[in-house]
Amino acid sequence: MSVFTAAIYSKMNGDATLTALLNSYNGNPAVFSGDRIPDNAELPYITISGNIAVSRADTKTTQGREILRDIGCWDHQSSSVLKVENIAERVHDLFHRVALTITGHTNWLTEASGPITTPPEEGVFGRIVTLRIISEEN
């Protein structure tokens, strides 16, 4: 797990309001990173994408990065869309203009945009919150 993924995961995993809205998986809140969700994972859950964009955020004396990450929030269509919207709004609020603790980096700015609706998937409601993280490498 990259230091960015670990920081995002830790922030969500440590928020009791958010984790109360999620199912659990192996005794932990159902928050997954990587490209594959375990086959036996049950909705509602959250997915952390890899970087969807990366650019340099260097200054004259420092090296930095700007990354974009999508956080997917998912729930059954058989339930109300309100639950997945509440999950996504909580994710947004956890990250928008809040400093992250990123190993080996100083976080200059974290912004959240969205949530936006995902393309339809059979039986699943989805919302995406996009994070913009700008950090300086220590």
Q: Where are the domains of the chain?
A: 3-137
Q: How far is CA 71 from CA 1, 28, 58, 134, 138, in A?
A: 15, 18, 25, 17, 26
Can you give the pTM of this predicted structure? Answer: 0.91
Residue 79: band (very low, low, confident or very high) from pLDDT cuts 50, 70, 90: low
Segment 12-39 mean pLDDT: 94
**Residue 55: pLDDT band with limits 50, 70, 90:** confident
Pick the CATH number of 3-137 from 3.40.710.10, 3.30.420.10, 1.10.10.10, 3.30.2000.30: 3.30.2000.30
* Residue keyed to tokens 């998912």: 74
pLDDT at position 59 is 77
Backbone angles phi and psi of 83, in degrees to 5: -65, -45
Distance CA 58, CA 120 (A): 39
Check residue 25 and give its pLDDT. 96
Average pLDDT over residues 101-105: 92
For residues 96 and 111, the answer to whether their CB atoms sit within 8 Å is yes
